[in-house]
Amino acid sequence: MLSPRARFSRTGCHWDRKEFQDHKRCAEKPNLSGAQKTLDDGPDSPAAAPTRSVRFRIHLREPKEIVVMRARKYWLVAAVLAALIAPASALAAISVGEAAVGTSVQDRQLYGQNFQFDRSVGRLYAFTRIVGAENPTQVSHRWYYGDELVAEVSLPVRGSNWRTWSSKAVMPDWTGSWRVEVVSEDGSVIDSLNFSVQ
């Protein structure tokens, strides 16, 4: 039996997962023929031989399948984190550079801009210029008549300085307070336009 002070410098002992739980089984495996032995039996040993110790090296190796599975798990976690962080950083940079309500849009320009409109207007346009988008995204225009949501229009944003607009038919009896909320892809309200119809 090996002394508690035995050190190992001989190669050739490889533990599998089952053998790793009991090092004594692995210690019995090496073929020590030809190795130099200096086994130390301790001071109380009846043997008069000089102090000796057996040296051999133990290599621990995990099965290749476990290493591959572990690497795949780490790559999957990194990919998921990257997918979550990148869009969030792009959305956080979006803002409204220009926003107004008017009576028409021609050549990507708003006309008839105002905060109060006659009931005979027929149709109104909410015009916005979105800035800061580093990747393609979208915004929504939510049209409210009083506190009631009466329309929601999704609009693509494909550039860092992107003009886009939506429109809403207005009946003559729909008088009172109106507003249009500009909402980013993550649901945040990034601007609000208030106007009235008289």
Same domain, 105 and 33: no
Check residue 64 and give its pLDDT.
64
Same domain, 99 and 185: yes
Check residue 117 and give its pLDDT.
98
Tens-place pLDDT, residues 129-173 = 999 999 999 999 999 999 999 999 999 999 999 999 999 999 999
Check residue 38 and give its pLDDT.
39
Q: Are 83 and 71 in contact, with CB atoms under 8 Å apart?
A: no
Owning domain of residue 45: 1-61
The pLDDT of 22-44, averaged and rounded, is 47
Same domain, 118 and 184: yes
Same domain, 177 and 114: yes
The pLDDT of 178-193, averaged and rounded, is 96
Same domain, 76 and 24: no
Tell me whether strands 123-131 and 116-117 are parallel, antiparallel or unpaired.
unpaired
The angle formed by the CA atoms of residues 52, 53 and 59, to the nearest 5 degrees, is 165
Residue carrying the six token digits 């550079």: 97
Instruction: Say which CATH number the domain at 114 has.
Output: 2.60.40.1930
Residue 8 predicted with pLDDT over 50:
no
pLDDT tier at 89 (50, 70, 90 boundaries)? very low
Residue carrying the six token digits 């508690």: 4
Same domain, 176 and 192: yes
The Cα 65–Cα 143 span in angstroms is 57
Domain boundary among 13, 41, 61: 61
CB atoms within 10 A of CB 139: 23
Residue 2 predicted with pLDDT over 50:
no
Q: Structure pTM?
A: 0.56
Tens-place pLDDT, residues 35-88 = 444 344 444 544 445 555 555 455 555 566 666 666 666 777 777 776 666 555
User: Which is nearest to 168 in space by CA: 155, 189, 150?
Assistant: 150
Same domain, 157 and 85: no
The Cα 109–Cα 104 span in angstroms is 8
Check residue 174 and give its pLDDT.
97
Check residue 71 and give its pLDDT.
67
- What percent of the chain shows pLDDT beyond 90? 53
Same domain, 88 and 33: no
> In the chain, how many domains are there?
3
Average pLDDT along the chain: 76
Same domain, 45 and 130: no
Pick the residue with more confidence: 115 or 78? 115
Domain boundary among 73, 92, 111: 92
Same domain, 144 and 53: no
Q: Are 137 and 157 in contact, with CB atoms under 8 Å apart?
A: yes
Same domain, 180 and 108: yes
The Cα 89–Cα 134 span in angstroms is 9
H-type alpha helices, 61-181: 64-92
